[in-house]
Chains A and B, each alone.
Chain A
């Protein structure tokens, strides 16, 4: 199988602080990783696509300076929510893909609550 992990699984932080979420592909190398956000009872919304060693491609309406993505290796991508505000509270899910066009395997998600 293809296992993707996320850390932390949940985080509570104060407004104005930054939070880093890690996404790791445990048993395969991922050329591409995706970051999604999901609000309660809604579908997944793609935030950005990141390829190892290059800058992430952000979806329209997603602030790249607020959601910093780093894909430094073929098994690790990080999403940093900078200066978090309560409206950033959401369920953040990453997925990883071995190669272009291949199946995306999802992590278990990170629940972020900003107070």
Chain B
């Protein structure tokens, strides 16, 4: 099935560093979402983006809906150990079905 291209696949960083990950697609979407999933848990919504060019923050997290509607990025500033987890992007088009990226696994060294 269709999937988003999410990168990087994994990251190992030092506490305090900033993190950036992104998702791209060849298709246009109306909604971009970023979720975090911890082991054995369901995904938790971090940020939802509904408008091209929109830049939204949630604490230390910032995400943008690309102007072309084909991409989005998520930044985490000043990472802390509890940021560890897998981050997924997801996007929806007119059919409202969510298309998922393969995830970015984040490890933070205290």
Which residues on A are within 8 Å of B, measured CB to CB? 4, 6, 34, 42-46, 49, 59-60, 91, 93, 95, 100-101, 103-109, 111
Task: Count residues of chain B with CB under 8 A from any CB of chain A.
Answer: 21
A108-B3 contact, Cβ under 8 Å, with A42-B102, A103-B48: no
Which residues on B are within 8 Å of A, measured CB to CB? 1, 3, 31, 33, 35, 40-45, 48, 88, 92, 96-98, 100-103
A-B contact count (CB 8 A): 45
A46-B97 contact, Cβ under 8 Å, with A107-B42, A111-B40: yes
Asked whether, in the complex, the Cβ of B42 is within 8 Å of the Cβ of A104, the reply is: no
Q: How far is the CA of A109 from the CA of B39 in the complex (A)?
A: 10
A109-B41 contact, Cβ under 8 Å, with A43-B88, A101-B92, A103-B33: yes
Q: How far is the CA of A46 from the CA of B98 in the complex (A)?
A: 8
Residues of chain A contacted by B42 (CB below 8 angstroms): 4, 6, 93, 95, 106-109
A106-B44 contact, Cβ under 8 Å, with A43-B88, A43-B101: yes
